[in-house]
Structure 1
Amino acid sequence: MKKLKTREDIEHLVNSFYAKVVKDETIAFFFNDVARIDWDKHLPKMYSFWETILFGQMSYKGNPMAVHFPINQVEAMEKKHFDKWLELWRNTIEENFIGENADMAIYKSENIARLMAHKMEMARNPN
């Protein structure tokens, strides 16, 4: 096990994570069928997103929340989906990395998932 400290580490983490996601019975359909992700475009964005979150590199440009609202309109993104996303993310980190940045990646993902689940629920049920 090694520390999570470079862009290459993030690329390995993200690639390993999404290899699990695309096969998962609970959430794969969001990526494969609903959003029909272009992985050649999506993965570099995710590398930059996590590089920005963990290392402060400011390489990510975009609004991750805004990207999820249209998907949520087609197919409800519920807490159980975010819980599965978190489980896969946490497991991938724990299988590959140790240290402060690995812990921070888990902590930040929990905050992101909680906020995103709340926002998606509010978008579906505004009252």
Structure 2
Amino acid sequence: MNDITTRQDVELLVNRFYDQVIKDDLIGFFFTDIAKIDLSKHLPKMYNFWESILLGNPVYEGNPMRVHFPLNEVTAMEEKHFNRWLQVWEKTVHDNFEGENAETAITRALNIARIMSYKMTNARSSE
């Protein structure tokens, strides 16, 4: 297996991740029922997000945290949900890639999950 080194690698990773996560019994509903994401619009944003993180190309514009707060108000995003997101991500990375950027993808996702879980929990407790 190869490492994540190109935009095409990022797109493959993100596509395979979303193929799994939207069908997941625990968290799939966040994507399909709560956020009701349009994959044709959402996936290019995710490609840019992960390309920025993994390849250092500053192509992502946005604030991912801000987008998740309204979803958290509809249905609480709990630690177990972030843990599952991370499990699916890590499995997708390991099933498709190996190398420094692949490990960075897992480490960064872990950090993102921890921060988002913390902030979503605090947002609910401050209501």
- TM (normalized to structure 2)? 0.98
Q: Does 1:9 find its partner at 2:9?
A: yes
> Cα distance, 1:125 vs. partner?
0.2
Write the distance in 2 (CA, Å) between the matches of 1:22 and 1:56.
27
**2:126 partner letter:** P
**2:17 partner letter:** F
Counterpart for residue 126 of structure 1: 126
Counterpart for residue 47 of structure 2: 47
Write the distance in 2 (CA, Å) between the matches of 1:73 and 1:17.
25
Counterpart for residue 113 of structure 2: 113
> Cα distance, 1:3 vs. partner?
1.2
- TM (normalized to structure 1)? 0.98
Counterpart for residue 91 of structure 2: 91
State the Cα RMSD in Å. 0.8
SS of 1:98's equivalent in the other structure is: coil
Aligned positions, number: 127
Write the distance in 1 (CA, Å) between the matches of 2:67 and 2:4.
27
SS of 2:89's equivalent in the other structure is: helix
Identity rate of aligned residues, in percent? 57
Counterpart for residue 25 of structure 1: 25
> Cα distance, 1:82 vs. partner?
0.2
1:33-88 C-alpha deviation (Å, 9 max, x unpaired): 00100110000000000000111111000000000000000000000000000000
Write the distance in 1 (CA, Å) between the matches of 2:70 and 2:101.
31
**1:115 partner letter:** I
Runs of 5+ in structure 2 lacking a partner?
Answer: none
1:76-116 C-alpha deviation (Å, 9 max, x unpaired): 00000000000000000000000000000000000000000
Runs of 5+ in structure 1 lacking a partner?
Answer: none
